[in-house]
Amino acid sequence: MSNVRDRGVIDITLKEGDRYVLVILDDMEWEYAERQQHGRILQDKINDYLSYIVSGQAAEAAPGMRPVIRILAKHSYSRYCIDFLERVRAFIKNKDDICDIEWTHSPEDGPFDDGFSDDFVFDEKKVYPRLKKNWAEDPLSQVSLMAPDAAAPNYPDNMVMIRFMDSFVGMFVQDVGSAFTYLTYDMLPEGTDVMKLQETAFDNLVRDITYRSCETGEPGIFGIIAGGDFEAESLCLGSIWKEVSEELNDNLIICVPVKDIVTYTRAGDRKAVKKMLKMAKKMYERNQKETPYLLFCKDVFIYGRETGKLEVSADCRW
């Protein structure tokens, strides 16, 4: 049987008195992390049903009967969902009132708590840093630590950002269960200290994410793995690079072509450095075509064993 995800098909039709009911079987939940995607899927399905009605097919199937779109849900309707459906109802009313729309539940499911608040709930224990390349022509002038009332009064939903090595920005994400959502100023509690939030985010990263070094299969070239979500953020953790540089007894050359691939080698091993740069270029170009959302940067980083500093190399390029 079809459901809300299946396009171009009516899930169930019913004739109830003078009403021709077109049922949408919706088995998806309205969790915060998934509600927008759910809304888009449901909107597409409703549009298919409206097209069926406007085309005259509903009138042919049930002459003289009033079309009704009924959403039969398996899970509770959230406040976000109900607001969404009320907007759809108003749209249909203003579109020549071509049909009715209603929402209910499968009788075998429940109990339900329709209208519950699914607003974002800030939890500093679940906040982590997210590092990104700032591609702006003048990165230093385009990142502010100021609150939106001073920095961007017309855009309170601006991302909360910090500077990192001039051409990079640090943002913040919160784990909301099945996904990570980026934090904007309007999601923070009033009076939040961004610098303190930064400290907390990195503390959480160290507490919850395990970083491990691994061999890449190429002699002298190694990688950092962390489960696929926070590899690039290892650039912010000096303790990792201090330990590795001490172990290799040398400065380090580091590449992060994509978000989940961090490779490094001894700065003194020219052969390995050359090979790693070639690898990084190949990975970047491949992902540029196949998965551009995974791209991180084309910069090459150098960590100084004696200085304990990580910098973008001005001499080493690929």
pLDDT range class, residue 142, cuts 50, 70, 90: low
Query: Mind listing the pLDDT tens digit for each residue in 148-191?
Result: 554 444 445 688 988 888 889 899 999 988 789 999 988 999 88
Q: Dump pLDDT digits (tens) for 14-72.
A: 999 999 999 999 999 998 878 889 999 999 999 999 999 999 999 999 999 999 999 99
Count Cβ atoms below 10 Å from residue 311 Cβ, excluding itself. 13
In this structure, how many other beta carbons lie within 10 angstroms of the beta carbon of residue 67? 22
Exposed/middle/buried for residue 63 (C-beta within 10 Å: 0-12, 13-18, 19+): exposed
* Contacts by residues 79-83 (CB-CB < 8 Å, ≥ 24 positions apart): 79/115, 79/116, 79/117, 79/118, 79/119, 80/30, 80/35, 80/39, 80/118, 81/30, 81/35, 81/38, 81/39, 82/114, 82/115
CATH 3.30.750 domain residues, the chain: 12-105
pLDDT, average across residues 200-226: 96
Q: How confident is the model at residue 224 (pLDDT cuts 50, 70, 90)?
A: very high
What is the pLDDT at residue 303?
Answer: 98
9 pLDDT exceeds 60?
Answer: yes
What is the third-level CATH fold of 12-105? Transcription Regulator spoIIAA (3.30.750)
- Indicate the average pLDDT of the chain: 91
Say if residue 112's pLDDT is above 70.
yes
